[in-house]
Amino acid sequence: MALNHGVYVGRKSCKSDLDLLNKVDSVSSKMSLLLWLTIAVCALVALLPVWIRGNLQADMLNQARLQISVLYCVLCICLLLTKDWRMIVSMGAVLLFNLYWMSSAYPTLAPGPSSATASHSFRLYSQNIYEANRNVSGVVRSIQQVDPDVVVLMEVTTPVYDYLVGELRETLPYHDLQNKHYMKPGLALFSKYKLESRMQTLPEDPRLPSIKSRIMLQDKPIDIIGVHLESPHDAHRIRSRNKQIGKLTKLIKYQQQSGVPLLLAGDMNTTPWNTLFRKFQRETNLSHADSFWSLNNSWPAWLPAALGFAIDHVLINDQFCNAKRFRLPDVGSDHFAFVSELELCN
């Protein structure tokens, strides 16, 4: 009887252990399925914005590729704990594609003629100063410390423009403002050098906020275009911004026929890895004044710079031999300011 009881207890114990193992296997299978589904969603998030345009959700995913890549890195580290190399390799491939897509949006500066060497140096200050900025005097100090040759500013109201003209008149005596309404923010241009009469270019398009001028750097002309494209707050504005990018493409291609060094600066409200913006770069053959790895994210200024969005750009044509761009400290705007060191080819 005692023996039978022992056998019964043993069988019951084995059955309990077996049930426990089955439960563990079930949980493990469900967890594995959940992880594979997560990887599949991550792959869709990385790939779908490449093909979908004009959609609010796809556009926001494209804008946030850098932040998404940070999440992908965290997920890859977590997957290392599973020791499932199929998952690790799959997630790693998604991460690498995301990094490739972003880094390839910064093509190498197109070389000038084979015999070209750098000649004239040129310094540009650019910023969206934010129309509600209460520290405009800080913007002035930042500009004066940098001592630029040209300044391109966005969201400048007429009263702020008048203030800047007075404060910068000694170092940047030449200036212009694109602003049809007194209190509506526009674009302003300040220069050490005389602004030539506005460039011979396409007719002004009120749907493309821009300021255009040519300066003479010693004996070298430079065409400067400042822009401020629509912010992508909703699907309608995304479509509006995309149309502006199309108009900007036509403007740049027309302007490049002159063979003059061309510089485009502004708040374009899109990251470089946006599919349409990549197309814009290919068609205009413009290059960034910095590289992807410099992480010159510009908005919002209250976020750590490495987690922000690169929506403010400086683009140049192949008449420039060397270029560098640096982020400056916050001066009360929601966008960081930048200074670009540029060198023209002989």
Distance CA 281, CA 100 (A): 17
Q: Is the C-alpha dihedral spanning 161, 162, 166, 169 positive or negative?
A: positive
pLDDT value at position 78? 86
Distance CA 215, CA 231 (A): 29
Distance CA 188, CA 140 (A): 13
The answer to whether 126 touches 340, Cβ cutoff 8 Å, is yes
Interval 220-248: pLDDT, tens: 889 999 999 998 888 888 888 888 999 99
Helical segments of the chain, H only: 2-51, 56-63, 65-80, 85-103, 136-146, 158-168, 235-255, 275-284
CA 334 to chain centre: 15
Q: How confident is the model at residue 15 (pLDDT cuts 50, 70, 90)?
A: low
CA 96 to chain centre: 19
Distance CA 291, CA 287 (A): 10
Nearest to 156 by CA among 198, 135, 134, 184: 184
Interval 263-307: pLDDT, tens: 999 999 998 888 888 889 999 999 888 876 777 788 998 888 778
CA 308 to chain centre: 9
The pLDDT of residue 24 is above 60: no
- Crossing angle of helices 235-255 and 275-284, in 10° steps, is 10
pLDDT value at position 150? 95
End-to-end CA gap in the chain: 105
Would you tell me how many other CB atoms lie within 10 Å of the CB of residue 84? 14
With b for 16 or more beta-carbon neighbours within 10 A and e for fewer, the 135-168 pattern comes to ebebbbebbeebebbbbbbbbbbbebbebbeebb
Higher per-residue pLDDT: 4 or 290: 290
The 210-217 sheet, strands edge to edge: 210-217, 220-228, 262-267, 312-316, 287-288
Pairing between β-strand 262-267 and β-strand 220-228 as defined by DSSP bridges: parallel
pLDDT value at position 56? 73
